[in-house]
A and B are shown apart, each in its own frame.
Chain A
Amino acid sequence: MNRLITRKIVDNVYRLKAPQKSLSTDAGVKLPSSNSGQEHGERVGFSNKIQEHDIAIVGGGMVGLAFACSLASMPLTKHLNVAIVDSNPALLSGVCIKKEDPPDPRVSTVTPATISFFKDIGAWKYVEQHRHAYFDKMQVWDYTGLGYTRYSARDANKDVLGCVVENKVLLSSLLSCIQSTDIQKTIYPSRLMTLHRNSSSMGAGSTSSGSLSYELGHTVKLDLTDGGSLCAKLVVGADGSKSRVRELAGFTTSGWNYSQNAVICTVEHSVENQCAWQRFLPAGPIALLPIGDNFSNIVWTMNPKEATDRKVMPEGEFLQDVNYAIDYGFGPHPKSSTSGNGDIFSWLKPGVTLSANECFEVPPKVIKLASERMVFPLSLRHANDYASRYVVLIGDAAHTVHPLAGQGVNMGFGDAFALSKVIAEGIAVGTDIGEVSLLKKFEAERKPENIAMMAILDGIQKAYSVDFGPLNILRAAAFHGANYISPLKRCIISYASGEQRLPIFS
């Protein structure tokens, strides 16, 4: 058998012809700079011969690395030979995190389901070494002053509702985690240029046979922008919302852009914030998420013109706007339910959950801007298929959502877990891991869940993009319903925690 493989590799090299050879020195130079992880059997891809891998993960971001960690953590998949294609130098040099730096504005709200996934793959212990902020309370209200909802982890018998973690902490934790495992991994510090699905060298022996024209080989060849190439039995596109894999493999998407941008930044309070706050304003929601110490993260959705203005306006003016937006701006505070005289929703009172008796609170004042302000356009995009022969999409490559409830990356981690599980099940019964029938199982498991979550987030976005009297009251009624009807509230918390499907979808 070995002889056979050798022959095939020789074939590969022969076929590559000259151009690769001139570039091979390039990759050779990069090698010494990769200090960390070398001792763990990690290699940097050479471009002078084609390496054969089981799985090529294109995109070494949070979702791609989580998928690799998940493969490394399961007995049936830990033997796989994995390649990670990403030009981010941090994958080789490690992510530099200084404790004294203020938190980065790019954060994720990870759900309890994601936390348990991270614990399973062995990455959460690294997250805990850095700044992270659990929160067990959440208050959602709107500018009309008609309603508010307070969620508490206690309502659903949980310890926490979620945890806010900087993306760089998640990335570095996953990197530490993958380096601590003994899965065979190769990092290609480059970008994907082309995919060849049918002209694989493996099929060379059979291309002469016309009867097998639908089945030319078991591998995909990936050409990289640095001139290198690799082969894999399965290509996992974890390369984000502008996925190159999605484009090259011909996956179609549907979706739309919102005429909204999100302004994100880190701010400082005079006291520690321990609650997640979200207020719906006429132009979009503003969220204030605790990120540890006296810092909070702001995700503020508004129209593009306002976003550009607020990005460049002086700090003092911006802070004033923020405090206005999270406090009394655009409308009064909702009345606390405990003082509820004349409350038009008082008939909803019986059977309230614990937190329903809690008063409306005003979020802590923002006193300082602790990072630059960043602006991102918002869009919704969903791949019509996640899987085809030898290629599968996970994370933002498959679905990009409104960052409303911080669900985007959690959906991606859900994909990473589901795909690694499906691959393990396939390996258990000796299936070729690139086989489309196997990958379609992953799609069948994740697509309905992701679409449901996207529809809810889009629905909330749309419901709040209209300022119209009767609709405002309906929304307020929905808030009250969500606040007072215990089973509904528990259900919403479980759903938002990523641990349960909405009953209508189960």
Chain B
Amino acid sequence: MASKLLIQLRALSAAANGHRVLARRVFSDSPSLSPPEVSSTPPPPPPPRPPPQISQSESGVKSSAPSSLDQNELFKFSSIAETWWDSEGPFKPLHAINPIRLSFIRSTLCRHFGRDPNSARPFQGLKFVDVGCGGGILSEPLARMGATVTGVDAVEKNIKIARLHADLDPLTSTIEYCCTTAEAYAMLLWTEKMVEEHKSFDAVISLEVIEHVANPAEFCKSLAALTVPDGATVISTVNRSMRAYAATIIIAEYLLRWLPIGTHQWSSFITPEELVLILRRASVSVKEMAGFVYDPLTGKWSLSDDINVNYIAYGTKTAL
């Protein structure tokens, strides 16, 4: 189902050229470049906030760099940490979209790593890091799919919950959880790498996190620094569109009360074009994107080519 719904989105030369040109989105059914068909949706307005500060440092790690995580955001999540695994609790929407984001990860990463999509544990032997793992609701399925998972979160309470929960099942008890921000972690790894070499991950996954960080560009550089050359990066977030504003803030937070009010800041949302650019500058080229859409009639989420609200992107790290 996932692969059928999935329309591959490619960032073309615009992104490759970088600079001030907005990435044109081209939909194509085949992996090869077919005649471009420009998205029917009008390009979103230019970013109202200052463009992300792109560091010139290639490593993405600067000893003086402050954590990109916003202190208010940290507090917000630690107050609801205990309810992570209650599928009817505050994180219900995450539980609801979890299967479809995992099916996107499964299909893209099976292709990326040349694994058998019919295997129950296709990621056996691969090292994944889940940045912003929360209570572990993504880390655990990834571990069941065979990956050697490291979960990282900035909220200590989340890590405690995640550890306790993962220990309930031998398949997930192998997950390593660390409480650190991605930046600090990258630096830790950087120093470790100095000592023993090869301490990076085959895939770096960070879902629904980038909209909560203070400096998305720095964050992406950190993610890239954690990835092996030719490794994969998967990021999901919310688009900065009027529809996203309506869906995530007005409907999900205020009307349906799916999420605690104040979970999202609209101004910190990132458009797919911005994400492509930011990742490009962090040496990650986006290969595919898909949107998550909710059908209020069936109550089901599905993958689609509509990236106006929630979307997920998969990219590969180009060799430096």
Contact = CB atoms under 8 A, between A and B. Distances in A.
A185 interface: no
A105 interface: no
A82 to B, nearest CB: 14
Contacts of A5: 170
Interface string B62-106: 000000000000000000001001110000000100110011001
A487 B107 CA distance: 41
Contacts of B106: 428-429
A435 B168 CA distance: 13
B165 A212 contact: yes
Given A206-B168, A429-B103, A432-B169, A215 B85 contact: yes
Contacts of A435: 87
B144 A206 contact: no
A430 B104 CA distance: 12
B39 interface: no
A313 interface: no
Interface string A426-460: 11111110011100000000000000000000000
B145 A1 contact: no
Nearest to B138: A430
B210 interface: no
Contacts of A206: 164-165, 167-168
Contact of B140 (A4, A426, A432): A432
B87 A76 contact: no
B170 A1 contact: yes
Interface in A208-267: 209, 211-212, 214-215, 217-218, 233
A283 B306 CA distance: 59
Interface residues of A, number: 30
Given A215-B85, A430-B144, A436-B87, A75 B169 contact: no
B161 interface: yes
Contacts of A211: 82, 161
B118 A75 contact: yes
A174 interface: no
Interface string B2-15: 00000000000000
B143 A430 contact: yes
A211 B89 CA distance: 14
B174 A430 contact: no
B168 A202 contact: yes
A202 B167 CA distance: 8
B167 A205 contact: yes
Contact of B87 (A77, A233, A429, A437): A437
Contacts of B164: 205-206, 209, 212
Nearest to A428: B106
Contacts of A437: 87, 95
B140 to A, nearest CB: 7
Contacts of B173: 1, 4
Interface string B148-182: 00000000000001001101111001100000000
Contacts of B207: none
A214 B168 contact: no
B120 A79 contact: yes
A218 B161 contact: no
A258 to B, nearest CB: 36
A203 interface: yes
A139 B106 CA distance: 51
B169 A218 contact: yes
Nearest to A78: B120
B119 interface: yes
A1 B169 CA distance: 11
B119 A75 contact: yes
Contacts of B165: 206, 212, 215
B226 interface: no
A5 B170 CA distance: 7
B142 interface: yes
A76 B118 contact: yes
A217 B168 contact: yes
A137 interface: no
B141 A430 contact: yes
A8 interface: yes
A430 B118 contact: no
Given A4-B173, A437-B87, A218 B140 contact: no
Given A76-B120, A437-B95, 5 more contacts: A76-B118, A206-B168, A215-B85, A431-B141, A432-B144
21 contacts: A1-B173, A1-B174, A4-B170, A77-B120, A205-B164, A206-B167, A206-B168, A211-B82, A211-B161, A212-B161, A212-B164, A214-B85, A233-B169, A428-B103, A429-B98, A429-B103, A429-B145, A430-B145, A432-B169, A435-B87, A437-B95
List of 3 A-B pairs having minimum Cβ-Cβ separation, nearest first: A430-B141, A429-B102, A430-B144
Interface of A: 1, 4-5, 8, 75-77, 79, 202-203, 205-206, 209, 211-212, 214-215, 217-218, 233, 426-432, 435-437
